[in-house]
Structure 1
Amino acid sequence: METLAERLASSERIVFLTGAGVSVPSGIPDYRSKNGLYTGRENPEYLLSATCLQNEPDKFYAFVRDNMYYPDAEPNAIHEKMAEIERRAGKKVTVVTQNIDALHAKAGSRNVVEFHGSLYRCHCQKCGMMVHSEQYLESDKHENCGGIIRPEVVLYEENLPEVAINGALAAITEADLIVIVGTSFKVSPFCNLTDYRKSGSTVFAVNQELLRLPFQYTMIQDDAVSIFKEL
């Protein structure tokens, strides 16, 4: 941890790669753990697929509305510390996150690449109008035109938006320090981002589960909240 603190202090360009484990301490479940979103559900990937949205929009909406939204969730020490590091003079910090809960932005991080989109940006598929998430939680039918509203998240069977890929790669390729936090780092293409790191960059991983990465890195196998509180 002391070495990580030293590298955070000395590095000018930092990228945090964050996953569901960062938001679990804020009361948002992950997907595949013992108490995760997918536990006990039959074919949950279908419920979060483009096919389900298109063919059974009521089923899609009910699942997303009842299980995905945590509007009262607050950032925890991990989100807050990353935002604090970004505010330090001379630092260019980018958070590239798999999470769709907008907690990094809520904590004050300004350079956030939401790799899989955000539940808190919604639009009508018929007229294209942007819709507040509060309105979506009341109904998925757009009152203006009757179209189906959807959150701007990447569903199964959909491609990642180019803006997310380009933003992530731009940050990774110039980073002096990359810190992987709260993710098993197994889901492609997110786990492939480190392939584009520049020569000489340093990689740390902070995660309760041991990661096995095919390159040199420093593993801190511990509770990320405890670690970030001490940084």
Structure 2
Amino acid sequence: MKDTCTNNKQLNIVVLTGAGVSTDSGIPDFRGKEGVWNKEGNPEAIITRSYFMGYPKLFWAQYKELFKEKLTMNHQPNRVHELVKELETVGKVTVLTQNIDSLHQLAGSEHVLEMHGSYQTASCPKCKLAYDVNHINSNDIPRCTRINKKGNVCNFILKPDVVLFGDTIRHWKEAEAVLESADLCLILGTSLRVKPFNTLPELAKDNGARLVFINNEGTEFDELMDEIHLGHIDEGLERVLQAFKNDEERDMWK
């Protein structure tokens, strides 16, 4: 692979990723048959900021049940995560992800913005101190154990570091900034149904980026794309990486 384009300008690559990127790691798509939103009851009414604020103890009991597999299983990065990391040999890569599993970081990606947060940690709304998944799993109702100057334990109930319904999406300004200078925007494993994340491809396009969509199915935004690869995400991403190795094809990414 080449480190720069033919004009010696470093490629700025932004990768937008969704649930389809992590399914091969054993994590079901939220909206799939085995996904969180298809579990019994009304999960979308539970995973809300208002429910957490009003009933934090009940929230945690139901949150842990809904996310039991994610919180207790040792999921590992798959080939797609590895290929996204490999893109760093081509140019400067920033990952903007809807996923809350932190597998991009585990695969070694250096610049990741988790737009919907992460279930790997929970933080104290009062002290802002973050705790890892081991602390979350070892307590029915995870609380802050920070000791203040007077020797008192905070004991505030933690809030999971995922974006709940009613929360503001994270890192929006940073996402806008990286898309302003993007040469190439890869869109992987997302149906682009969730707002405002689904507005990011158009923002990239407006700033002159080439859009390459790779997923097992299309979306309502297909006409916006410059290139579409339908099928297995790893195979489509392999083809994109191969294009960088071809001297005759590199010019199209400038």
Q: Does the TM-score normalized on the shorter chain lie above 0.5? A: yes
Give percent identity, aligned residues only: 33
Structure 2, unaligned runs of 5 or more:
146-152, 242-254
Alignment equivalent of 2:193, drawn from 186, 191, 194: 186
Aligned letter for 1:209?
A: E
In structure 2, the partner of 1:211 is: 219
2:180–2:207 CA contact under 8 A, matched in 1: no
TM, length-normalised to structure 1: 0.87
**Preserved contact between residue 14 and residue 185 of structure 2 (Cα < 8 Å):** yes
Counterpart residue number, 1:168: 175
Of 81, 87, 91, the residue aligned with 1:85 is 87
In 1, Cα distance between equivalents of 2:210 and 2:50: 40
Alpha-carbon separation, structure 2, partners of 1:189 and 1:166 = 12
Aligned length, in residue pairs: 222
> Once the 2 structures are TM-superposed, how far is the Cα of residue 183 of structure 1 from its aligned partner?
0.6
SS of the residue 2:36 aligns to: coil
**Letter of the structure 1 residue corresponding to residue 182 of structure 2:** A
Contact 1:47-1:59 at 8 Å conserved across structures:
no
**Could you list the per-position Cα deviations for residues 9-53 of structure 1 after superposition, in whole angstroms to 9, with x for gaps in the alignment?**
777111110001111110111111122111142221111101121
Larger radius of gyration: 2
Aligned-residue offset at 1:118: 1.4
Letter in 2 for 1:84: E
Q: Runs of 5+ in structure 1 lacking a partner?
A: none
1:1-231 aligned at under 5 Å gives the runs: 12-68=11-67, 69-70=70-71, 71-86=73-88, 88=89, 91-139=91-139, 140-143=142-145, 144-161=153-170, 164-197=171-204, 198-213=206-221, 214-228=223-237, 231=241
Paired with 1:173 and 1:96, the residues of 2 have a C-alpha distance of: 14
Does the residue aligned with 2:13 lie in a helix, a strand or coil?
strand
Counterpart residue type for residue 158 of structure 1: D
Distance 2:102 2:39 in 1: 26
CA distance in 1, matches of 2:156, 2:52: 13
Equivalent residues of 2:15, 2:95 under 8 A apart: yes
* Contact in 1 for aligned 2:182/2:208 (Cα 8 Å): no
Moved over 6 A (4+): 8-11
In 2, Cα distance between equivalents of 1:219 and 1:78 = 17
Deviation of the 1:228 alpha carbon:
3.6
Equivalent position amino acid for 2:165 in 1: Y
Shift of 1:227: 3.1
